[in-house]
């Protein structure tokens, strides 16, 4: 550790002490002596006071909205930029690795948004979602940065539409379908009308997904396929639907619509739950879980809820 | 050309003359508004000038790699700053308290937020989380520890780390 680091750590310690409580007279003396001992000490302490002043300028509301916004890790931003730099053929060059916070449309946790286009196409954003929309001469691109969208294309869509994710592109053929990023590697597509053509970024061919089918794919290939009988996703109706679903999976889904942390104790993880729940009140959903299943819901804070054995 | 005999200022000039076009192209390929490339290129060389003492021989032997490291940092901060501005505008629109703010006050607040944000952005996620919970939400270390399911000691360590990082950032800038 360099001498400079030691000084900075000492200043940080003093700053913490003064925030915690008021200093005792001895401590005040000690701080004065420390500041006077070396010009670097005083310089570090002035920086500490300036920092304090800056933080005090920011109101809670502003801070939460600006500083507390969801952010991409700096290393990942770098990685995505490097990917472009290396000329990596991600999604045929459509994807320009725009980080989530440069998105054109965005929803926070628990929010939804409907974006109508001139030609009648409707783009719906589910919770915690970010998309960029690029309208080009011959084509419209919807880049799903994170989260989940539902696209219902208009009857006379003038320009073809393309949805791109880092894992691949989805080309609709006059249709209604949803796309969700599951994690860093996988994307989930569900088709409700007509069909879409799906092209994983690193594969040569494409796959057609028909109405009533859902697939999960990564950059190379389709991983899982399943069928459904829905006309639209439940979330677009403001609902969370579960059918004999494991409790940990159910809470994992619910978590997407709730800020803060929702934990499931492994002891109750394989309890089963069925029902149609209204997403506009996630507290109420938790209440129903608490009364219908043998679990106890513990609220440590509003942002930290644990579901465990009673 | 040997850069060894040149004074540091002249070295930067050489670096600039030989690489500014390449660097501007590098930025243009990574920006959605290429007009910014010239500004960011200037910023790279300003940064090089300010840190002349760190111009070591090996960085001059690999000038592109050296410039790219600085350029990447600036590019990340360019996008970060834009996301701050966006969030700031949304907050302005949403918060009634801002009606009484003058244009200068808004600019000052935005600059302050941006500077704090630059520090937060460089923190590990856990450190940043603890710091925000303490500073914005006024949670105690005990509450933060419960929430994060770590010891109070760890929270104190995160907080100290957060402060030290902020101070180092301010002292270096």
Q: How far is A245 from chain B (nearest CA, A)?
A: 27
Give the model confidence (pLDDT) of A184-201 as tens digits: 889 999 999 888 888 888
| pLDDT of res. A158 | 55
> What tokens appear for B28 in the block?
């243009």
The helix or strand, by DSSP H or E, that contains position A113, with its residue range, turns out to be strand A113-116
Distance (Å, rounded) from C-alpha B63 to C-alpha B70? 11
pTM (2 d.p.): 0.52
Q: Considering only CB atoms, which chain A residues are within 8 Å of B76?
A: 74, 77-78, 81
CA-nearest residue to B89 within chain A is A66
CA-nearest residue to B135 within chain A is A55
For residue A51, count other CB atoms closer than 10 A to its CB: 21
Comparing CB atoms, the residue among B117, B121, B170 nearest residue A51 is B170
Chain centre distance of CA A203: 27
Q: How confident is the model at residue A147 (pLDDT cuts 50, 70, 90)?
A: very high
Comparing CB atoms, the residue among A55, A66, A68 nearest residue B88 is A66
Give the model confidence (pLDDT) of A61-108 as tens digits: 889 889 988 777 777 665 554 444 333 333 323 333 333 334 578 888
Range with the poorest average pLDDT among A16-20, A43-47, B22-26, B95-99: B95-99
Comparing CB atoms, the residue among A5, A55, A78 nearest residue B76 is A78
Contacts of residue A182, defined as CB under 8 A and 6 or more positions apart, other chains included, come to A188, A216
Specify burial of residue A169 (Cβ count, 10 A radius: 0-12, 13-18, 19+). Answer: buried
Q: Considering only CB atoms, which chain B residues are within 8 Å of A12?
A: 160, 163-164, 167
Which has more confidence, B111 or B36?
B111
| pLDDT of res. A288 | 92
């Amino acid at each position: 550790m360099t001498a400079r680091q030691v000084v900075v750590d000492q200043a940080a310690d003093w700053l913490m002490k003064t925030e915690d409580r008021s200093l005792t007279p001895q401590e005040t003396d000690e701080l004065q002596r420390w500041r006077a001992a070396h010009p670097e000490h005083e310089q570090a302490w002035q920086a500490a006071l300036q920092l304090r002043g800056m933080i005090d300028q920011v109101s809670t509301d502003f801070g939460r909205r600006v500083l507390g916004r969801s952010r991409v890790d700096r290393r990942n931003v770098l990685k995505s930029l490097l990917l472009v730099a290396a000329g990596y053929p991600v999604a045929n060059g459509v994807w320009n690795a725009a980080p989530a916070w440069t998105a054109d449309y965005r929803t926070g946790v628990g929010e939804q948004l409907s974006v109508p286009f001139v030609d009648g196409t409707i783009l719906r954003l589910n919770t915690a979602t970010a998309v960029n929309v690029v309208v080009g001469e011959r084509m419209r691109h919807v880049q799903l940065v994170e989260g989940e969208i539902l696209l219902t294309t208009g009857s006379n869509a003038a320009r073809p539409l393309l949805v791109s994710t880092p894992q691949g592109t989805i080309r609709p053929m006059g249709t209604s379908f949803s796309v969700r990023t599951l994690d860093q590697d996988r994307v989930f597509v569900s088709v409700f009308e007509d069909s879409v053509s799906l092209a994983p970024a690193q594969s040569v061919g494409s796959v057609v997904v028909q109405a009533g089918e859902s697939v999960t794919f990564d950059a190379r290939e389709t991983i899982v396929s399943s069928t459904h009988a829905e006309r639209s996703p439940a979330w677009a109706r403001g609902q969370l639907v579960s059918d004999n679903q494991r409790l940990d999976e159910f809470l994992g889904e619910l978590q997407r619509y709730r800020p803060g942390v929702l934990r499931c104790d492994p002891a109750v993880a394989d309890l089963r739950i069925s029902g149609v729940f209204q997403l506009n009140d996630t507290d109420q959903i938790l209440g129903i879980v608490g009364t219908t299943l043998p679990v106890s819901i513990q609220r440590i804070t509003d942002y930290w809820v644990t579901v465990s054995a009673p | 050309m040997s850069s060894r005999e040149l004074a540091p200022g002249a070295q930067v000039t050489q670096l600039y003359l030989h690489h500014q076009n390449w660097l501007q192209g590098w930025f243009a390929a990574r920006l959605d508004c290429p007009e910014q490339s010239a500004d960011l290129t200037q910023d790279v060389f300003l940064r090089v000038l300010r840190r002349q003492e760190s111009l070591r021989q090996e960085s001059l032997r690999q000038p592109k790699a050296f410039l790219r490291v600085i350029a990447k940092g600036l590019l990340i901060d360019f996008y970060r700053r834009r996301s701050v501005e966006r969030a700031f505008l949304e907050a302005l629109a949403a918060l009634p308290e801002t009606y009484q703010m003058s244009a200068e006050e808004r600019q000052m607040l935005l600059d302050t937020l941006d500077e704090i944000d630059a520090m937060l952005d460089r923190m590990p996620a856990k450190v940043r989380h603890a710091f925000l919970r303490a500073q914005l939400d006024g949670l105690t270390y005990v509450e933060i520890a419960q929430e994060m399911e770590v010891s109070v000691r760890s929270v104190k360590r995160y907080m100290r780390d957060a402060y030290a990082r902020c101070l180092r950032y301010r002292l270096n800038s």
